Chain A
Amino acid sequence: MRFQLNFKSGKPVYLQLVDQVKAAAASGAVHAGDPLPSVRTLAEELRVNRNTVAKAYADLEGQHVIETVAGKGCFVRAASSPFKKDVRLKLLAQEIDGAVVQAHHLQIAKSEFLSLADDRFDAFAQKRSRAEQ
C-alpha cells in the first residue's frame, strides 16, 4: 500500500498513518495476512521519525487492525475488534456525530445524509470485491 502524508491537514502524522491502514483494510487494498513495511523502511521512505511510525503501529495493534509476529514484522489482521458490541457502537457514534455536525453546517438533510452513507457502504463493498478478483 502507498501512504500519503499531509502536514497541512492539522492531523497528527501518526494518526494519518493509522487511518490510511484502516482505510486500506476496509477497502480491500490490503488483506488479512498482508505484511506492512518495517518501521525503519516506512520511516525512511516517508522521511518521518521512527517514533511516529512505531506509535502508529502500536495504535493499530491496540485496535486489533494489525498484529506483530516476533522476528517477522507486522501483518494485517482479519477485522476483529477487542471491544464488546455496545462499546463498538459508542465509538462509531462519536465519529458519526462529527459527520452530523458537518452535515448541519453544509446544510445536508438527514435523508440525504443517510442515502449518502448507504452509497459509501456500497462503494467500499465494491472496492473490496474488485480487490479480491
Chain B
Amino acid sequence: MNQEAPVIDLDHLVRRYGRTDAVNGLNLRVQPGRCYGFFGRNGAGKTTTIKCLLNLLRPTSGAVRVFGMDPARDEVAVKSRIAYVPDQVAFYPWMTVRDTLDYFASFRATWNQATERSLLDRFRLDARQKTSHLSKGQRTQLALITAICPEPELLVLDEPTSGLDPIVRREFIQTVIGAYQEGDPGRRTVFVSTHLISEFEGLIDEFTIIDGGRDVLTLDADAARERYQKVHARFAVEPVGLDLAGARVLRRGRDIEVLVNGDAGDAIDRLRARSPEAISTEALTLEEIFVATLQPQGAVA
C-alpha cells in the first residue's frame, strides 16, 4: 500500500484570503482505499482545503498532490478520477432528474447504469421530476448518485449530511459503504469533512483534526480509541491532594473522571492507591476525542 502514491498529499498548505490565513501550514496524507475523516469546527479551514484539492482555489504556498499530480497543472487527469459532493448542492432548476444525470454522465468516461438505477430506486427518486422541485435531502441524494456512478477513485464529501434528516443521513452513509465501495475497495478512497463525527464513526479508519488552518491531530481511528480513555473512580470520601500529573481531571465530589491520552495505567495506579470504591475505564468516541482536543483545558463539560 505504501509504495503507491498517496491519493492526497498536502505539504505545508497555506491559503490566505486577504490578511486572513484560512489554511496555515496543513500537512495531511491519505493512502488509497482509506476512509479518511477531516474534522474541524466551522471556519477551521476544511472547505478551503477541499477547494485547493479540486483546483477551485490556488494555494498561497505549499504543495498539493492528488494521485501524485498537481491538480492545477494536471486538472483534467486529476478531476476525471475524483467526484465531489459539496455541502450546498445546486443543479440547473429547469432540468429533470433524468436530464441532470445525463448531463453529468456526458462529462465522464465511465457511468455505471446499474448503480444509477439501483440508487434511484433506493432513494425513491422520480426521474421525471424537475430538480427545482426536489427537497434538500433529495438534492443531496441526487448529488451522491452523480458522484458514485462515474466510479471515481476518490470521493470527496464536504459536510455531506448536515441539514438532513436522520433517515436520509443513514441511507447516505449506507450508500457510500455499499454502492461506492462495491467495485474495487482498494481503489475507493473517501475523504469526508464533517463535524457530525458520530455519524461517520464506524466508517472512518483514519482522521485529521484541523483547527485554525493547521492539523492538530492525525490518528488511526482504532489507535485513537485505544489511546484516549476515560477513567472513572468513585471514592468513599472526597480524596484530597490527589495528584494526577498533567491529566485532565473532572471532579464531582466523590466521583473523579480522568481523561487520559496515552497510558491509562499510570492514572489507574494513582487512583487505585487511594482505594476507590469502584473504578472503570471506557474509550473516548471520535467525537469526544475531537472535543477534548479542541476544548481549552479546564473547560471540559
Do A and B assemble together? yes
A residues neighboring B (CB under 8 Å): 5, 7-14, 40, 43-44, 46-52, 54
Q: Is the CB of A50 within 8 A of B283?
A: no
Selected contact of A12 from candidates B33, B204, B226, CB within 8 Å: B226
Closest to B286 in A: A7
Residues of chain B within 8 A (CB-CB) of A50 are: 177, 181, 185
Q: Are A8 and B283 in contact (CB under 8 A)?
A: yes
CB distance from A133 to the nearest CB of B (A): 35
How far apart are the CA atoms of A111 and B52 in the complex, in Å? 65
- CB-CB under 8 A from B177, the residues of chain A are 40, 43-44, 47-50
User: Would you call B229 and A10 a contact (CB within 8 A)?
Assistant: yes
Is A10 a contact partner of B226 (Cβ separation < 8 A)? Answer: yes
Cβ–Cβ contact B202 & A49, under 8 A? yes
List 8 A-B pairs, Cβ < 8 Å.
A8-B284, A9-B282, A10-B226, A12-B222, A44-B174, A49-B181, A49-B202, A49-B204
In the A-B complex, the 9 residue pairs with the closest CB atoms: A10-B283, A48-B202, A12-B222, A44-B174, A8-B282, A44-B178, A50-B181, A43-B177, A47-B202
Contacts of A9 in B (CB 8 A): 282-283
Cβ B178 vs Cβ A49 within 8 A: no
Q: Residue of B at shortest CB range from A48?
A: B202
Q: Does B35 contact A (CB under 8 A)?
A: yes
Nearest chain B CB to A125's CB is how many angstroms away?
Answer: 31
Could you say which residues of chain B place their CB within 8 Å of the CB of A5? 202
In Å, the complex CA distance between A54 and B177 comes to: 12
Which residue of chain A has the shortest Cβ distance to B264 in the bound complex? Answer: A10
In the complex, the answer to whether B202 meets A13 with C-beta atoms within 8 Å is yes
Instruction: Confirm or deny: B205 has a beta carbon within 8 angstroms of a beta carbon on chain A.
Output: yes
- Interface pair B178/A43, CB less than 8 Å apart: yes
B134 at the A interface (CB under 8 A): no
- Report how far A48 CA is from B286 CA in the complex, Å: 14
Most B Cβ at <10 Å: residue of A7, A14, A48 = A7
B123 to chain A, nearest CB (A): 15
Complex Cα gap A44–B181 (Å):
11
Q: Is B75 an interface residue (CB 8 A)?
A: no
Known: A7-B225, A40-B178. A47 touches B203 (CB 8 A): yes
B251 within 8 A of A: no
Interface residue? B173 (CB, 8 A): yes
Taking a contact as CB atoms under 8 Å apart, the answer to whether B283 and A47 are in contact is no
Q: Nearest residue in B to A40 (C-beta to C-beta)?
A: B178
Roughly how many angstroms separate A115 CA and B170 CA in the complex, as a whole number? 46
Contact (Cβ within 8 A) A48 B203: yes
B222 touches A47 (CB 8 A): no
B47 close to A (CB within 8 Å): no
The answer to the question of B285 belonging to the interface, with a C-beta cut-off of 8 Å to chain A, is yes
From B202, B225, B286, give the contact of A46 (CB < 8 A). B202
With A10-B283, A12-B222, A13-B222 as contacts: A47 and B174 at CB distance below 8 Å: yes
Give bound CA distance, A10 to B286, whole Å. Answer: 11
B283 → A minimal CB distance (Å): 3
User: What's the Cα separation between A10 and B203 when bound, in Å?
Assistant: 16
Bound-state CA distance A131–B204 (Å) is 36
Find chain A residues with CB under 8 A from B204 CB: 49
